[in-house]
């Protein structure tokens, strides 16, 4: 046995006890209990119980008997918690009842606290609220010392668990906070109290969905884990509680790192828990719950298969008979959703049915099983088309809704599932009453503030869909507006960028449908606002953080300083773990409180709110911005000018047709990079797509604007802002080639991801500062050599004064420093996009990548122009196109009001020709957009039958 701090005292007391010393027997028993808590060895508990019973037998008529009965009760409580022997609780309570009237005040208080502890455990075991009522009453009569407050807090916590009374949980947190605050850190029970407080706050957050409460809970729970010795038996229990809080953080906020940390902690706990101990079943439950939550997000089938096997081995060994079957049902259903194996569907039905039949109606496990059984039947209907499965699903899910407490996350989730089933029933029956019922369920879920934000948005989107189906377009517009208004909550700054992207991917197309519903409601201004709020959410966060705080600094300088600091510390980040992750979550919540404080000041109610429509319209003074909205409801171009919004219907454009064109275009680009027989056909396909863009998108817009011929004087400007996958196609190059009308022959094109971004670019634009840094890397490690980059850099340097960072000089640190000290930058190097993680797209420098995330985090002032003469620098991710996550947008967010980039891989020689022509024209006095326009036209003249060579370059900005 590994030595412990208790061994020498135990041996000393054991020798004295053998000589017949009753005091030594008592001391030995209590020290054995302490060692059990340290090592989890059941033999120590059994010996402690035997020693105390022997001691009691020696002193039948002595006053010390009453103290020994209390000590025996304490050990019996530990024995119950380890072995589950309920007779130990009854014996402990009986011993306290006998001893309490005969004890002095101090020992009476100890005995009364222990009796209350026993009643709490008995209530938990029997689920009988009578016991917990007695426990609360008894603990409430005790003096308000830390130990007694701890017991009262636990009793109130159990009252909540048995009754669902959230007020009891709130009071438990208040009492436990007082217990922690009034006890010293070196109190042996301090960590227990800290952990219990964290556990209560976590349950409160789970009940209400309040992330600020969960953050506080995690802080306390992590402190308990970090404070417990590595050899303490309590450490594993503390880890279980922390893992539960992290699991729920992941589930409610989308923080994948938190979900993974929770699973990792529980894996450690299971590995350290002998399978033959009582605690193994409960810890296994926690592990299965955490794995299910993680697999829902990651689809990790290997982890899921392992969890199913662990769940099977744990049958009959959980804290409650129904828990493991419930979890197995969830795991089998999730595996069916991932694999479509019908055997898993049948196993899920069996598991949930077992619980429904075994657990009395109204209990939480019955409710959970009923709701999940409804979900499984819904999946069965989706898979087989069985109408009876749908009928059973609607019935079960409706019962689950009615049995759930109002305004709780469980109620919201049940309403979404019920709404899904009802809507499917409407699709079968076409009954408008069923459609209205589905809309009602979705609406209630959307308004449930306890539900996680992404669940609320999905519910609001589905609610809007029912209104659209009924052609109630004004109500659909309002429901979509409600959904779009919640978007900032689904990708908060506290999340890693990858998690933010993943959450927003689930809502792709929301802004487009919202705008289309507003157009059907004859409200084009609302359509513009919804597109502004529903796209570029992540970029909008950065634009907000980089807004001018000078007005606030004048009115409240201290508040402005704290706000600026919070923004600075919440720049986009990768995954963070442990205390670093906790700090980021705390910072984001603190930022929200700071913004609330600012907006409570007179005259600051709209502080850092999205710009008003009038301000957005005013930003189009140099030329119209054309928002091209593509939705299944309808597609339109919205021409935004200072005078208002003009709608141009695009009846030939649908999400399906755009997807087809984007797929054909992408395949052709891939083929065109490989010389051979397919190259000519690929160029023909690209030409066809450019023709489609002209016929169905560009030409109707330019016709409405009056740009029907080549200009005879100054070239007009148009800013394109395409929605969805249309952003993957080159609108600026649309036309009927080789001899027909084209955009290039009518207007100078620019792009902007949103009107806000354009407004921001114009606010930061400064003519002064012509100094340029040219970064040229032709031989980056691990990449194909680029032969023209150094020549490109040399040629540009002859056209305009420039600092050159060439080859090994172009390190990440050197480039960062150069960007901060030069007004303009030109990159001639390799670049790559990443469709799975667009924020990982990067420029390849001499010693590594400079990513989208890296550049976005920069906050540069006085900069003017960035030219990204590299591949795919403005290519967004197909799964999240409305966020515009690519290098071009990253440089704009970093502060550059003008950026030149490329939509696909560009030829090394052609990139050099375009770059040299561009800088020569800029040096000659042309503005950047016009200079690029003519450089591309000149390149088109050289390669008229090869549009992939000249159409990739585009301009974005003011």
352: region left, alpha or beta (phi > 0 left; psi from -120 to 50 alpha): alpha
Nearest to 874 by CA among 680, 720, 763, 760: 720
Residue 433 structure tokens: 């009453």
Q: Band of the pLDDT at 933, cuts 50, 70, 90?
A: very high
**Rounded to an integer, what distance in angstroms lies between the CA atom of residue 445 and that of residue 440?**
9
Question: What pLDDT digit, counting tens, does each position of 598-608 carry?
Answer: 999 999 998 88
3-state helix, strand and coil shares in percent for the chain, rounded to the nearest 5: 65, 10, 25
Question: What pLDDT digit, counting tens, does each position of 17-34 carry?
Answer: 988 899 999 999 999 988
> What is the structure's pLDDT at 472?
98
3-class secondary structure per residue, 578-611? HHHHHHHHHHHHHHHHHHHHHHCCCCCCCCCCCC
**Rounded to an integer, what distance in angstroms lies between the CA atom of residue 885 and that of residue 658?**
20
More confident residue, 531 or 610: 531
> What is the structure's pLDDT at 226?
94
The answer on pLDDT for 674 being more than 80 is no
Question: What pLDDT digit, counting tens, does each position of 865-882 carry?
Answer: 999 998 888 888 888 999
**Rounded to an integer, what distance in angstroms lies between the CA atom of residue 870 and that of residue 832?**
8
Q: Band of the pLDDT at 769, cuts 50, 70, 90?
A: low
Query: What average pLDDT does this structure show over 104-108?
Result: 86
Query: What average pLDDT does this structure show over 500-517?
Result: 94
> What is the structure's pLDDT at 148?
93
For 550, 771, 868, 899, the CA distances from 862, given in Å and listed in that order, are 17, 11, 19, 14
- pTM for the model stands at 0.86
Helix (H) or strand (E) holding 942: helix 928-942
Query: What average pLDDT does this structure show over 170-199?
Result: 94
Query: What average pLDDT does this structure show over 805-834?
Result: 93
Calculate the average pLDDT of the chain.
92
| DSSP label of 60 | T
Residues in the chain: 958
How many Cβ atoms are within 10 Å of 414's Cβ, its own excluded? 28
Measured in degrees and rounded to the nearest 5, phi and psi for residue 827 equal -110, 125
CB neighbour list of residue 289: distance below 8 Å, 6 or more residues apart:
244, 247, 327
Look-up of token digits 């689950």 = 400
Question: What pLDDT digit, counting tens, does each position of 191-217 carry?
Answer: 999 999 999 999 999 888 888 899 999
Burial of 122 from C-beta contacts in 10 A (0-12 / 13-18 / 19+): buried
For 198, 242, 243, the CA distances from 578, given in Å and listed in that order, are 16, 11, 11
Measured in degrees and rounded to the nearest 5, phi and psi for residue 783 equal -120, 155
How many Cβ atoms are within 10 Å of 949's Cβ, its own excluded? 21
Q: Band of the pLDDT at 448, cuts 50, 70, 90?
A: very high
The answer on pLDDT for 768 being more than 60 is no
> What is the structure's pLDDT at 730?
96
**Rounded to an integer, what distance in angstroms lies between the CA atom of residue 391 and that of residue 420?**
13
Query: What average pLDDT does this structure show over 534-540?
Result: 91
Question: What pLDDT digit, counting tens, does each position of 335-383 carry?
Answer: 999 999 999 999 999 999 999 999 888 788 888 999 999 999 999 999 9
**Rounded to an integer, what distance in angstroms lies between the CA atom of residue 668 and that of residue 685?**
6
> What is the structure's pLDDT at 319?
62
Long-range pairs, 703-711, Cβ under 8 A, ≥24: 704/637, 704/639, 704/646, 704/648, 705/624, 705/639, 707/746, 707/747, 708/746, 709/746, 710/745, 710/746, 711/746, 711/747
Question: What pLDDT digit, counting tens, does each position of 373-426 carry?
Answer: 999 999 999 999 999 999 999 999 999 999 888 888 889 999 999 999 999 999
| DSSP label of 809 | G
Q: Band of the pLDDT at 573, cuts 50, 70, 90?
A: confident
Look-up of token digits 């009038």 = 614
Q: Hey, which residues does 721 pair with through a beta bridge?
A: 627
> What is the structure's pLDDT at 761?
86
Question: What pLDDT digit, counting tens, does each position of 262-273 carry?
Answer: 999 999 999 999
Diameter of the chain by CA atoms? 117
Question: What pLDDT digit, counting tens, does each position of 275-333 carry?
Answer: 877 788 889 999 999 999 999 999 999 999 999 999 998 887 766 788 899 999 999 99
The answer on pLDDT for 791 being more than 80 is yes
């Amino acid at each position: 046995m590994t030595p412990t701090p208790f061994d020498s005292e135990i041996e000393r007391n054991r020798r004295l006890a053998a000589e017949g010393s009753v005091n030594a027997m008592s001391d030995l028993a209590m020290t054995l209990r302490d060692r059990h808590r340290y090592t989890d060895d059941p033999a120590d508990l059994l010996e402690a119980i035997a020693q105390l019973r022997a001691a009691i037998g020696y002193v039948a008529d002595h006053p010390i008997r009453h103290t020994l009965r209390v000590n025996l009760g304490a050990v019996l409580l530990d024995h119950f918690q380890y072995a589950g022997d309920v007779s130990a609780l009854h014996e402990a309570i009986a011993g306290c009842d006998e001893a309490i009237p005969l004890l002095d005040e101090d020992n009476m208080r100890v005995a009364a606290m222990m009796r209350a502890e026993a009643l709490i455990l008995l209530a938990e075991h029997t689920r009988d609220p009578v016991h917990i009522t007695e426990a609360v009453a008894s603990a409430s009569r005790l003096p308000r010392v830390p130990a007694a407050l701890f017991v009262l807090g636990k009793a109130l916590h159990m009252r909540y668990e048995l009754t669902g009374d959230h007020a009891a949980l709130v009071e438990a947190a208040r009492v436990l906070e007082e217990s922690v605050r009034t006890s010293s850190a070196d109190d042996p029970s301090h960590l227990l109290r800290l952990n219990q407080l964290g556990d209560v706050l976590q349950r409160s957050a789970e009940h209400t969905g309040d992330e600020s409460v969960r953050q506080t809970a995690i802080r306390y729970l992590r402190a308990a884990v970090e404070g417990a010795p590595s050899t303490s038996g309590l450490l594993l229990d503390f880890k279980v509680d922390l893992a539960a809080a992290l699991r729920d953080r992941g589930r409610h906020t989308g923080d994948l790192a938190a979900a993974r940390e929770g699973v990792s902690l529980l894996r450690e706990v299971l590995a350290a828990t002998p399978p033959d101990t009582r605690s193994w079943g409960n810890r296994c439950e926690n592990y299965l719950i955490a794995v299910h939550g993680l697999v829902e997000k990651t689809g990790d089938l290997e982890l899921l298969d392992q969890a199913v096997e662990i769940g099977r081995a744990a049958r009959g060994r959980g804290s409650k008979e129904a828990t493991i079957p419930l979890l197995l049902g969830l795991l089998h259903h999730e595996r069916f959703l991932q694999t479509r194996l019908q055997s898993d569907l049948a196993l899920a039905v069996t598991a949930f049915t077992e619980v429904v039949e075994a657990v009395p109606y109204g209990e939480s496990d019955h409710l959970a099983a009923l709701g999940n059984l409804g979900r499984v039947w819904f999946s069965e209907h989706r898979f087989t088309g069985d109408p009876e499965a749908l009928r059973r699903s609607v019935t079960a899910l409706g019962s689950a809704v009615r049995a759930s407490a109002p305004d709780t996350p469980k109620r919201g989730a049940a309403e979404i599932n019920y709404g899904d089933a009802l809507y499917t029933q409407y699709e079968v029956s076409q009954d408008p009453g069923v459609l209205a019922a589905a809309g009602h369920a979705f609406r209630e879920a959307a308004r449930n503030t306890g539900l996680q934000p992404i669940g609320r948005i999905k519910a609001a989107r589905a609610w809007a869909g029912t209104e659209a189906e009924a052609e109630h377009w004004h109500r659909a517009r309002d429901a979509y507006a409600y959904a779009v208004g919640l978007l900032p909550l689904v990708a908060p700054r506290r999340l890693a960028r990858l998690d933010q992207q993943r959450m927003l991917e689930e809502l792709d197309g929301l802004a487009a449908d919202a705008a289309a519903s507003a157009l059907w409601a004859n409200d084009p201004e609302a359509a513009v606002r919804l597109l502004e709020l529903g796209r570029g959410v992540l970029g909008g966060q950065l634009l907000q953080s980089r807004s001018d705080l000078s007005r606030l600094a004048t009115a409240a300088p201290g508040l402005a300083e704290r706000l600026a600091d919070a923004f600075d510390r919440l720049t986009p980040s990768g995954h963070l773990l442990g205390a670093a992750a906790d700090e980021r979550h705390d910072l984001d919540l603190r930022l929200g409180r700071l913004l609330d404080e600012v907006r409570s000041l007179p005259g600051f109610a709209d502080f850092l709110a999205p710009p008003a429509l009038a301000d957005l319209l005013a930003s189009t003074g140099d030329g119209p911005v054309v928002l091209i909205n593509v939705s299944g409801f309808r597609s339109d171009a919205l021409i935004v000018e200072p005078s208002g919004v003009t709608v141009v219907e695009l009846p030939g454009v649908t999400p399906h047709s755009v997807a087809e064109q984007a797929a054909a275009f992408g395949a052709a680009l891939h083929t065109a990079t490989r010389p051979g027989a397919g190259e000519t056909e690929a160029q023909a396909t690209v030409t066809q797509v450019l023709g489609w863009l002209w016929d169905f998108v560009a030409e109707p817009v330019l016709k409405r604007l009056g740009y029907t011929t080549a200009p005879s004087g100054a070239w007009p400007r148009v800013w394109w802002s395409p929605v969805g996958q249309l952003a993957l196609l080159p609108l600026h190059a649309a036309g009927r080639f080789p001899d027909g009308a084209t955009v290039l022959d009518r207007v100078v094109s620019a792009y902007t991801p949103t009107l806000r971004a354009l407004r921001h670019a114009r606010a930061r634009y400064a003519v002064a500062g012509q100094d340029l840094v040219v970064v040229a890397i032709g031989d980056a490690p691990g990449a194909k050599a680029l032969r023209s980059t150094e020549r490109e850099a040399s040629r540009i340097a002859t056209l305009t004064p420039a600092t050159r960072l060439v080859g090994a000089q172009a390190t990440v640190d050197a480039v960062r420093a150069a960007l901060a000290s030069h007004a303009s930058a030109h990159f001639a190097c390799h670049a790559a996009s990443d469709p799975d993680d667009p924020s990982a797209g990067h420029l390849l420098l001499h010693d590594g990548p400079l990513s989208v995330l890296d550049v976005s985090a920069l906050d540069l002032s006085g900069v003017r122009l960035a030219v990204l003469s590299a591949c795919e620098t403005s290519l967004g991710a197909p799964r999240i196109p409305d966020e515009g996550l690519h290098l071009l947008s990253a440089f704009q967010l970093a502060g550059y009001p003008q950026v030149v980039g490329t939509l696909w891989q560009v030829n090394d020689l052609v990139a050099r020709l375009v770059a040299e022509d561009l800088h020569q024209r800029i040096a000659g006095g042309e503005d950047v957009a016009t200079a690029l326009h003519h450089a591309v036209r000149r390149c088109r003249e050289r390669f008229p039958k090869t549009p992939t060579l000249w159409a990739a370059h585009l301009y974005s900005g003011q």
